[in-house]
Structure formats: C-alpha cells, structure tokens
Structure 1
Amino acid sequence: MVFREKNSRGSFKPHLSVKFKSVEGDLVTFSIDTTRTPAKYQQPDAYLITHAHSDHNGKSAMLSERAVCSEKTALALEIRHQRKYAGRTFKVGETIDVKGVKIQTFPNFHTVGSVSFMWENELGTRILVTGDVKDASMLPECDLLITEANYGDPGDTSCYFDDDITGFENAFRDNSSIAFGAYAFGKAQRAVELLRGFGYQGAIEMDEQSLSLTRTLLEDAGELTYLGDSCEDCISIVPPWDLGKLPSHISKYVMTGRSDYRYPAIQISDHLDARGLVTMVEDIDPEFTVVYHPNGHRPGIFAKHLCSIGFNALSIDMINNVLSNEFV
C-alpha cells in the first residue's frame, strides 16, 4: 500500500510511504524522502533518503536512527546542515537488510551518492523507488515504479533539452579568466568533473560550502582553493547569485536551463528530460507507476501522459483518494 501521512496540522507530509509484508510475512513500512514522524507516533521501519537535496527532506530524516542513505549522501547532509547523521549507510550498489527486507541499491547519477532503492514484498512484487534520475541505464525492471517528474510535462518545450557539454568546454577554452555559477551541491561537483575531464589541471577556487562538499565527495577533484585566496588564473565556481560579487573582468556563465539569470546560460542538468523520463518507464516496464516528485502540477501531467501511452499510473496528489478504493 502506497500512502501519505499527515502532520499535526492536518496537512500531508512531503512525499510518501510504502506499507507491505516482507518475504517473511512481517508488516513493514518504508517512508521515502519525507520528514520524520514525531516520536510520540508509530515510526516507519526506515526513512529512505535518495539524495541530499533539500526537497527530499534529508535535513529532517537524517536525525533518526532509522534513516537509510548512501555514505556520500550522509556526508553531504552533514556538511549542508551542520548536523550529525544518525542513521545507517551503505556504498552505492550494495544490498542491505532492513528488518529482514533485502534492499538493492542502484546508481542514478543525479548527484554524488544518489541512489535508487528496490526490494520485494511477500508476493514477489518488485518495488523500485528511483529518486531523481540523470541516467537510468543501471535501473532494473520492476512491478511497482515510484518515480519523479521534474521535467515530466511533454507539452512544455522547456522539458526537452540536451546537455551542452560542447558549450561548457568552449566557454572554458575561450576565456582566460572565467567563473561558472553552479549550486553548491550537485552542479558544482559536476563542473569540477567536467573541467578535469577536459584536461584542466589548474586550481579551481570555490565558495566555502562548494569547496567542502567537493573535497569530501569527489575522489579526483584535483587542486581546489577557497575563493579569494589570491589564486591567479584560477577558474571560479560559485553559486549563481554570487557571480555579481566577482571582478568585472571575469567572464561569467550559469550552469542552468533557466533563462532568468543576467549571465549567459549553459544547459547542464542533473535530470532526465521529458523524453528520457518516458524512455526510463518504457525500459523498466512496470505494471504500475506512482509519480511522487516534485510539488506542483508535473507529477499529475506525467502520470496522465503515461496512462495515454499504455501504462497504469497515478500521481501523489491522487493517493489520498486511492487508499479508500481499489488500490488498497
């Protein structure tokens, strides 16, 4: 049973939970990318955290000993929120045991340490929770798919894109002094990986949080330094809103698909576009799909589109109605 919990104010908590019977016949509940349940109420058996972006609510779940996430996601959560991670960790690709349930983990390449989770219930139903996905090539087939729709509106032209890796490389090679605007967690690490992949061996200067996250999460980050450490001819990586604080002679670009920044944008996304999301579902070939992320209208639009091409699907906003009907 896929369901949503309500908080003390009567509003739905973020995202969802899954209640099922384990292979041994025990009733088990996994909460997915959601906030903690107050201690006075019954707790789930695990809070599954797919990655450390704030809209997946790890800031709350990380404080529970029932939290489950990858080692690098735990490190990212600790750096981002200055709190000690209290749960259990694993290496991406490992199989772990939670209350007798064997959970397989798969890379989805959204951020460093991000994972998808899969397990089976008493009936042998394979349940796959993807989290946000950049590359679905290593995700397995399943019976129940629980997935995202960040760019899941096939009628919106902004949901179709290809990463402009060539544009990023050209900007790097054509400017002797350059800065890239990139979010501290996710995009900043991707920028460093791209630059090193292009053969750049020089220093990269970063803001404090980007630097801490990159040094901790990337094994081959090369020479990194704090922004403002008098580094000559360094490439700078800072949050997009800090580009204006850098000297005017520096060429500035933003790694984004958005068009509302004052600086030139280079399309680099951490997500599949609409075509990629549809292909992912076709390849995984589930019997049923639940679209749980993000907030807003896109989960509903993507679920309707999946139904229109022959898949059984619903979005998170419909779950409160389904619980009292045939899905139970």
Structure 2
Amino acid sequence: MKELVDLGVMVFREKNSRGSFKPHLSIKFRSVEGDLVTFSVDTSRTPAKYKQPDAYLITHAHSDHHGKSAMLSDRAVCSEKTAIALEIRHQRKYAGRTFKVGDTVEIKGVKVRTFHNFHTVGSTSFLWENELGTRILVTGDVKDASMLPDCDVLITEANYGDPGDTSCYFEDDISGFECAFKDNPSIAFGAYAFGKAQRAVELLRELGYDGVIEMDEQSLALTRTLLDDAGELSYIGESCSDCISIVPPWDLGTLPSHISKFVMTGRSDYRYPAIQISDHLDARGLVSMVEDIDPECTVVYHPNGHRPGRFAKHLGSIGFNALSIDEIDNVLSNEFV
C-alpha cells in the first residue's frame, strides 16, 4: 500500500526454510535517529543463522500468537505477566525483556509505549513513532479499546471481524453467568486455562462469590500467579463438594454427574449449555475501535482464514484505507533495504 510507504512504514511477511510464510508479520521503519529498525509481531523466531529483527513483540500468551517460539530469544519483549504465563504454559524459561503494562520500553533507541487492551491478564498493545512522526499502533487481540491511543498506522485483529457473519455479533451474558452460579449449589464452568479461566474467577469475585474455587492444575497455577485478588483457590477434589469448579471444557465430563456444567463460549458445538463470555470485541466493537482511533492506514494481521480480508474490505467500504495480511507481499521496498 503506497500510503504506508509514504508514512515511512513497511509491513512484510517472512518465509521459513520450507518456503511458507511465517506467522503474522514484521514492520520495518526508520527511528527518529534515522536507524533502520525491524519489529516482528506475534511471530515465531527467525533461525539464528539469519538476520534477526530488533525485537519480537509478543502481545499475549495465547498459542496462536507464537510466544512459545519467540520467548526463547533474548530479543523477545512482552509484559511481566505475559512472560509468567508463557513460562507456566510451556515449561520453558523466558529469555527476553519484560515491562509492566503502561510502561515505556526503549528498543534500539525507539521509545515504545504500552497499553492495556484487556484481552488476557498481561496482554499488551504497543505504540511508537518513526522518523516522520508516524504513530504506529499494534493492538494484538482486544477486549476493550477504551485505553488505546490515536495513531496513523493501525495494525490490528479481526477474530470476529466478518460483518456478514451473524456469529460475529454478540454481547457478554453476565446475567446468565450470575444466574448459573447462584441457582446451582454445585456447578462447574468450562473455560480455557489461560485467559477465560482467569476471567471466570474475576467475574465470580466481582459478583460477590467469596467461597473456594477449584481448578485443574494449569488453570490453578496460572490464576494464582497472574491474579492479585483471586481469593481462595484449590485443586480439584481438595475442598468441599459444593465448591465452584473451573476446568477446560473437554474436562467437564470427568466431573461427578451431580454437578451442573456450563461452557463459557460463543460456540454451539459443546454438549453442555453455553454462556456467552468472550475475550474479544465483536464486529461492531472492532469497527468502533477503528472509527475512534481514526488511522490513515489499517493493517489486519490476525487470525488465519478469511476474516482479516473480510474486515479490511468492510473498512474500505466505510472510508478507511485498509489491507489484510494475505495482501502483504514479502518483497521490501528499495527505500527500506
């Protein structure tokens, strides 16, 4: 996109040794001092024998953002809590730099500001400027965009960015969640160990539940470490029979039959009743985020599949310059080489 080049920004995709595109994208620009800088975003590491980016920005610890690979590089950059989550999930030592969300971190002379996006505990959006004063914002996945700043180049997600798909429109069913645990003396929620399980604990505490919450091993380790006010937690089977339990959805069937079971999801393919609780903006929220930030160019880099293209096309139809990851060429402009 010519507009990106005019703003002093080149987005590109690298290929691995098999000739396939690596996950997500990289960004090349010149710093305020005129140095050429490359940030790779939510991608796997480049083999050591090849030129490395100046930083691997990891927005959060979900596996489709490839922190399992990037965390082993001393050029990795992520929040303290994202680093903790990566270490617990993958049983590996995080090798890079960390920060508290809200801090400014300097990378090769570039001052990178960090912002909450409320997708998971520790999830981070990154903002910096190039030599032209262009403000570049990488959001990662977003649940709440209220703290995100204005920018000129927006690099964002489209997990629910297909305006033509009715499943991309939803609202969190907090009242349904509250009724479920108040109406059932013995209840279990199916929630992914990282992200959704912590959200479930936060909701239960906000809604006034102060009893014991039982969890599977990984959910327990993550929640105890990542949440400051998690309350009393224990491993499944260690406490009373009428405790609330939180386990991965596929483990609900291992719990006793007398326990009422619900899945925290927008999906309809589980055997248990679903309660809509999402860690993402829906299609309306994503569009509102772009309208509020009002960038000159938007790049949609996540997830795989057709949604980035559909979201970019929709943004174009309402007056925004936008392209999706599948439109990004891996050939760099001469002025960035």
* Both structures adopt the same fold (TM-score exceeding 0.5): yes
Determine the C-alpha separation between the residues in 1 that align with 2:335 and 2:269.
Answer: 44
Partner SS state of residue 300, structure 1: helix
Q: What is residue 294 of structure 2 aligned with on the other side?
A: 285
Say if 2:275 is the partner of 1:266.
Answer: yes
Shift of the alpha carbon at 1:325?
10
**Paired letter, 2:72:** L
Say if 2:194 is the partner of 1:212.
Answer: no
Of the structure 1 ranges 133-142 and 229-238, higher mean CA displacement relative to structure 2 is found in 229-238
Say if 2:332 is the partner of 1:316.
Answer: no
**Paired letter, 1:237:** I
Determine the C-alpha separation between the residues in 1 that align with 2:108 and 2:240.
Answer: 52
Q: What is residue 247 of structure 1 aligned with on the other side?
A: 256
CA contact (8 A) 1:4 1:319 kept: yes
Q: What is residue 118 of structure 1 aligned with on the other side?
A: 127
Q: What is residue 174 of structure 2 aligned with on the other side?
A: 165
Determine the C-alpha separation between the residues in 2 that align with 1:276 and 1:162.
Answer: 10
Say if 2:120 is the partner of 1:149.
Answer: no
Say if 2:123 is the partner of 1:104.
Answer: no
**Paired letter, 2:142:** V
Determine the C-alpha separation between the residues in 2 that align with 1:14 and 1:37.
Answer: 11
1:160–1:326 Cα change, 3 Å = farther
Determine the C-alpha separation between the residues in 1 that align with 2:110 and 2:145.
Answer: 24
The sequence identity of aligned pairs, in percent, is 87
Q: What is residue 146 of structure 2 aligned with on the other side?
A: 137
Gapped runs of 5+ residues in structure 1?
none
Partner SS state of residue 38, structure 1: coil
CA contact (8 A) 1:205 1:231 kept: no
Determine the C-alpha separation between the residues in 2 that align with 1:216 and 1:249.
Answer: 31
Gapped runs of 5+ residues in structure 2?
1-9
Q: TM-score scaled to structure 1, two decimals?
A: 0.98
Say if 2:47 is the partner of 1:34.
Answer: no
Q: What is residue 182 of structure 1 aligned with on the other side?
A: 191
CA contact (8 A) 2:57 2:77 kept: yes
Pairwise mapping of residues 84-95 of structure 1 onto structure 2 (< 5 A)? 84-95=93-104
Task: Select the residue among 74, 83, 86 that pairs with 1:74.
Answer: 83
Determine the C-alpha separation between the residues in 2 that align with 1:52 and 1:132.
Answer: 11
Partner SS state of residue 320, structure 1: coil
Task: Select the residue among 237, 244, 268 that pairs with 1:228.
Answer: 237
Say if 2:247 is the partner of 1:238.
Answer: yes
**Matched residue count:** 328
Determine the C-alpha separation between the residues in 2 that align with 1:216 and 1:74.
Answer: 11
Determine the C-alpha separation between the residues in 1 that align with 2:228 and 2:239.
Answer: 25
**Paired letter, 2:102:** G
Determine the C-alpha separation between the residues in 2 that align with 1:162 and 1:322.
Answer: 41
Partner SS state of residue 29, structure 2: strand
Say if 2:313 is the partner of 1:304.
Answer: yes
Q: What is residue 265 of structure 2 aligned with on the other side?
A: 256
Q: RMSD of aligned C-alpha atoms?
A: 1.5
Determine the C-alpha separation between the residues in 2 that align with 1:178 and 1:69.
Answer: 35
Determine the C-alpha separation between the residues in 2 that align with 1:322 and 1:313.
Answer: 19
Partner SS state of residue 38, structure 2: strand
CA contact (8 A) 1:180 1:252 kept: yes
Say if 2:273 is the partner of 1:275.
Answer: no
Pairwise mapping of residues 186-201 of structure 1 onto structure 2 (< 5 A)? 186-201=195-210
Moved beyond 2 Å, runs of 4+: 321-328
